[in-house]
Structure 1
Amino acid sequence: HAPPQPVTPVAMRCTYAHCNKPNVSNRFYKIEAGRTSGGQDWSPLVGHTLCTACYCRYERGGTLERSVNKPIPNSARRCSHPGCDRPNQSSQFYLIEAGRKSGGQDWSKLAGWVLCKSCYTRYEQRGTLERSVNKPLPPSQRRCSYPYCDRPDHGRAFFQIEANRTSGGQDWSPLVGWVLCQPCYKRYKDRGTLERSQNKPLDASARRCTYEGCDRQGTGGDFFQIEEGKTAGGQDWSGLAGTVL
């Protein structure tokens, strides 16, 4: 999606009822249908106008409420995650409120918890509080489980896939228990597949977008052939299998 356009001067007022300065902002943003910035659900705000502060808060945290930024009393500044290494030591603590959607994760089971900055960032980025993915594997296990990996024994890091992993919004359940080298891990996290087929150059005769509504069917910089089973971005690509985009 293109960045939201500033609204015309006559509408330059933030429509969030609890905005501290609804008339003061360097820019105002009109929220259009279909917006997915920050991986958030913007549908409840379609048609609203937001100041820069409110827009950025929703884009980062999935909420217009400022409660997450309110200082937590000293008595409550302790991470609730039982596995936290340093629950009392953090530059910042976050109280998880109901309805939080930061990073596109499901925070509902953590509502009411207090998280240190490290645990909060880990969950926001990976959808898990577990640190197992960062624990060094013994040398005997440092081999990529993907049968078609080009260099299964080489890699700066190896990752063991644990249950309930949601990194990148992908479905990792078929890979639970596998060990992946860094290139294979990143490929699955970014695209939802371990296959490298989409990186193979297409023949010149096939370099044309098959979407009828495409404005520049034969002039794109890159073309991608959609293979069966693709789940990149958590989307259902089955209806596009075999097409070129």
Structure 2
Amino acid sequence: MSMATTRRLAATALAGIATAALLGTGTANASIISPDGMRIAAYENSLKNSTEPEAAATLQQFDALTHDKKVKFLNYSEDPENLKALLQEVADVPEAGTSVHQLVNLKDGDVQIEADSEATFKPDDAEAAAVAARGKLSRGWWETTYSVKQKILGVTVTKLSLWVNYYTDGSKITKVDHADCGKRNYNAAVSIGHSVPKAQLASGTAIGEVIWEGSIIYKGFGIEIDKRHQVKANAYGFKSGYLKNI
């Protein structure tokens, strides 16, 4: 069975569950349940039944919207241009010290794509003060992350994260342990898989990389967009990152 067929069957089944929950066993109330009401119920059910750790927060954000904004949210989430945007709009992030925040606004700000980085670490205490004074990372194991997420009307719909784990001696990075990635996706029209994350040390730079394999199912038509996601860290923390087409 093709991915497109599987996604359509899942969406149909989900809509059926939502309709049954709304209507019970009777049919007398069917005329007062609008198609938009069933779409909203189906999306809420998908979040309630999700095992993703951030699904409850997304549901809370969605429930806070008015009925009209919920409908607008669902329309945006099914808009093929918005579906492509997450995988196409984020450009390279230049060298930016230990952190970066990048924002792309679409649809007059209703749809936002955010890119963020952070470096977390477990330094050796004896080195911390001296290293902080000269701006470099403290000696110890660090993990630098570069994440990209899409928000619709303030609700986080999709988030892609990549991180690389490395050791610095307080002057330079000497070892790279591994890279890993994670995703949160609450858009039924988007299916996202990934390759095995890779890590390497090159010229004092810790590099993590993964390929995201995105499939967009829109009205029975499949769109495949693969993206290379990379994060780089140096002795000062986050160096650069990108998420771009390949």
| Fold-level similarity (TM above 0.5) | no
Q: TM-score range by the shorter chain?
A: under 0.3
Determine which structure has greater relative contact order: mean sequence separation of CA pairs < 8 Å that are 6+ residues apart, divided by chain length: 2
Q: Could you say which structure has the higher strand fraction? A: 2
TM-score, structure 1 as length reference: 0.23
